């Protein structure tokens, strides 16, 4: 295997990993957990407000 073939294989592998990550991110099964993670900062603010903290 020549160096150019190795470079092509690594490029192809990197592209396939990228496509896999994009597909995983956009899958409908993961949507609920991503929505929950997106609400976490607001939940922390609400909890701090109930405890009487965070006077900004």
The DSSP string of 13-40 is: HHHHHHHHHHHHHH-HHHHHHHHHHHHH
CA 7, CA 5: separation in Å to the nearest integer? 5
> Between helices 3-26 and 28-50, what is the axis angle to 10°?
60
Overall residue count recorded for the chain in this entry: 56
Residue 7: its pLDDT value, please? 98
Domain boundaries, the chain: 1-51
Q: What are the pLDDT tens digits along the chain (56 aa)? A: 899 999 999 999 999 999 999 998 888 787 888 888 888 888 876 666 666 655 55
Give the long-range contacts of residues 18-21, CB within 8 A, separation 24 or more.
Answer: none
Residue 38: its pLDDT value, please? 86
- pTM over 0.75, yes/no: no
């Amino acid at each position: 295997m020549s160096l150019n073939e190795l470079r092509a294989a690594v490029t192809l592998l990197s592209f396939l990993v990228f496509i896999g990550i994009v597909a995983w991110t956009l899958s409908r099964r993961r949507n609920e957990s991503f929505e929950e993670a997106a609400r976490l900062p607001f939940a922390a603010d609400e909890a701090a407000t109930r405890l009487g903290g965070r006077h900004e």
